[in-house]
Structure 1
Amino acid sequence: MADCHEKQKVAVVLFNLGGPDSLKAVKPFLFNLFYDPAIIALKNPLRWVVAKLISSRRAPIAKEIYKQMGGKSPILPQTEAQASALEELLNLSGDTTYRCFISMRYWTPVSGETAQKVAAFTPDRIVLLPLYPHYSITTTGSSFIDWMKSAVTAGLTMPYRAVRQYPDQENYIAAQVKVIEDVRAKLDHPENYRILYSAHGLPEKIIEAGDPYRDQIEMTCRLVQEKLGNPDHMLCFQSRVGPLKWIEPYTEDAIKQTVSDDKGIIIVPIAFVSEHSETLVELDIEYREMATELGAKDYVRVPAIGCQPEYIKALAHLTRSAFND
């Protein structure tokens, strides 16, 4: 008979995008991305053909981007660091044993292998925790759909709860405020700068179909601004690809406007919790070069919140409260 004082076991599955771990992995990573029906809404075999075509065309460009990052994405080791910090915090006290697992959407470790590891842990409960604070069908939604298929295959029948979003979670907001304040504190005249909150964009048609992503990004920015005392700011969107109309204003237009207004630039990757190509290349290299060429007074980039203690507290709170319903 089991000891009545035996600790409950909870598996915490952290979801993230994933990224190629070598230059060889770039093309298959891109194929996985564009083969996702949440990204390319076509039926097979047409979706497969389109994904093959786009990934083949974009691979050479993407390889050059990843060469600037040392030949691979840093997103997995950063996610591993977040998982380790969260697991340590969750297990500091209480009668529950928590184990954190990572499930990447478009590269290893994929949901199938992670689900098998969770099954081997034999948890009593499972918490699905996205490292996307803002819900979109293209990120959290797609990850959850993919996970559910793998969970069935792995025979995971224990109770679970899914955290859909947390754009206004108190500790998450505090983490964003802290990294911005740390940067502003180093500036001689922060009032002469405009904060550009740059989030990953989406095609307009996805928002028009009811996706809450933009509203949730705006909510986060509003709450961060309140804590900062409402300095000069602008919300903008980056990383658009393809012929579709994407949500505006675009980050490059926000940079042009800020330079025109004779303000320095503080750029904040508001939708990203770890560093990857959109921050290390797009923000740090491409947009910085653009701002310099336009004659920007200054261009300062705030780091992603990563393992900032308040963010790890946010994840711990979301995990512990997931079953309190």
Structure 2
Amino acid sequence: MSRLAVVLFNLGGPDSLDAVKPFLFNLFNDPAIIGAPGPLRWLLARLISSRRAPIARAIYAQIGGRSPLVEQTQAQADALQAALTERDLGTEIGVFMAMRYWHPLTRETVDRVKAFRPDTVVLLPLYPQYSGSTSGSSLNTWVKTAARRGLKAETHTICCYPTEHGFVTALAELTRAGFIEGSDHGRPRVLFSAHGLPKVSVERGDPYQSQVEMTAAAIVDAMGLPNLDWVVCYQSRVGPLEWLGPDTDSEIERAGHDGVPVVVVPLAFVSEHSETLVELDIEYGELAEHRGVPAYVRVPTVQAHGAFIRGLADLVEQSVRPTEGDGCLIEAGPAQGRLCSQVGARVCDGKWSKCPHVAPSADKT
């Protein structure tokens, strides 16, 4: 049997207050975030990161001066490696982390994977819903870096899994527990909060909003509660562009006006970081109190929840053990290898032109 390397992708996070500014620079210097030409983007990234660094440092100071995202991703990697080892998918299995904007950066992980000498590499973004600014950026950077640094191995890509059974099961269990907690103060409204995206990105064919809505609907269905009051909303808006709505803070204010408890579910994040621990827990918690929301419950991210890890293992197994008619594409995606979604075939409506799963025959899937 072969040596299998699985690479988990996420955005990363500063590991100290001194790392905040370079982390922000890397973020804004990403062409998927700011699409200006290279020299101009570099100047803009320097300007924006310098201006935002003091604010961001104050945010990270509230959670111990560092992001817990990398540690939690390592826990996910360890749990996934154990799950994959039980499935006998290779003579040796390694699960690695590649962070987009801070260590371990993509180039560092490429070198580690190369030293592992894999026969097969599976690229698995920890972004359940695909967007060109998250999964797309990470995957494209990996492919370019791997080519430059001489990593040669059969490579499969998992593009998205917005309604994967294990992921949805984990979030449904966590949301149900939060709903029960909030029910002590009335029947709660569930706010499925996702990181925002400029509307222009969706208008240009990015499937992110559609997949976020798919996730929310699947969680509601799995919870099985009749007449559940729920809404999808978006947080973390920055800059002058019009972003997806409604805003999470506006929905919290509406709940205060309506006198109903809220249960906030971060359905697009799989680990804790500043946008959950500060924005959701502290800033929106204070907003809820000031607006008279009877109870404010924030559901934790899935992290290393057993159902989520089993779901990730299922995705990896599907990618490396092809079955006839599974819908995965050959010589497709950024790595030009096998490209699978949670069901193999395309999960997006055909109108989403930026979906990486571009087989014409899959448009109606």
Residue aligning to 1:315: 312
Q: Which of 279, 291, 294 does residue 291 from structure 2 map onto?
A: 294
Residue aligning to 1:264: 261
Q: Which of 140, 144, 148 does residue 139 from structure 2 map onto?
A: 144
SS in 1 for 2:17: coil
1:10-50 CA deviation, whole Å, 9 max, x = no partner? 10000000000011110010000000000001002111111
Distance 1:153 1:184, change over 3 A: same
Identity %: 49
SS in 2 for 1:103: strand
Q: Between 298-307 and 44-53, report the one with greater CA deviation.
A: 44-53
The reply on whether 1:216 has 2:195 as its aligned counterpart is: no
The reply on whether 1:75 has 2:69 as its aligned counterpart is: yes
The 1-side partners of 2:217 and 2:61 are apart by 36
The reply on whether 1:13 has 2:7 as its aligned counterpart is: yes
Q: Which of 127, 140, 145 does residue 132 from structure 1 map onto?
A: 127
Q: Which of 21, 27, 30 does residue 21 from structure 2 map onto?
A: 27
SS in 2 for 1:185: helix
Distance 1:155 1:263, change over 3 A: same
Contact 2:33/2:133 (8 A) holds in 1: yes
Q: How much has 1:182 moved relative to structure 2?
A: 2.1
Residue aligning to 1:64: 58
Structure 2: stretches of 5+ with no match in the other structure: 323-327, 329-365
Q: How much has 1:188 moved relative to structure 2?
A: 4.5
Q: Between 229-238 and 88-97, report the one with greater CA deviation.
A: 88-97
The 1-side partners of 2:89 and 2:212 are apart by 36
Residue aligning to 1:3: none
The 1-side partners of 2:214 and 2:87 are apart by 33
The reply on whether 1:99 has 2:94 as its aligned counterpart is: yes
1:228-267 equivalence runs, <5 A: 228-230=223-225, 231-267=228-264
Contact 1:267/1:302 (8 A) holds in 2: yes
1:113-151 CA deviation, whole Å, 9 max, x = no partner? 100110111111000000000000000000011101111
Q: How much has 1:190 moved relative to structure 2?
A: 7.5
Residue aligning to 2:154: 159
Contact 1:184/1:190 (8 A) holds in 2: no
Contact 2:285/2:296 (8 A) holds in 1: yes
The 1-side partners of 2:27 and 2:87 are apart by 39
| TM, length-normalised to structure 2 | 0.85
- Consecutive aligned runs of 4 or more in structure 1 exceeding 4 Å deviation: 187-191
Distance 1:68 1:16, change over 3 A: same
SS in 1 for 2:297: strand
Q: How much has 1:186 moved relative to structure 2?
A: 3.5
Q: How much has 1:228 moved relative to structure 2?
A: 1.6
The 2-side partners of 1:182 and 1:306 are apart by 16
Code of the aligned partner of 1:186: E
- How many residue pairs align between the two structures? 319
Code of the aligned partner of 1:268: V
Code of the aligned partner of 1:318: L
Q: Between 112-121 and 149-158, report the one with greater CA deviation.
A: 149-158
Q: Which of 196, 199, 207 does residue 201 from structure 1 map onto?
A: 196
The reply on whether 1:227 has 2:222 as its aligned counterpart is: yes
Residue aligning to 2:81: 87
Q: How much has 1:93 moved relative to structure 2?
A: 3.6
Residue aligning to 2:118: 123
Residue aligning to 2:44: 50
SS in 2 for 1:12: strand
| TM, length-normalised to structure 1 | 0.96
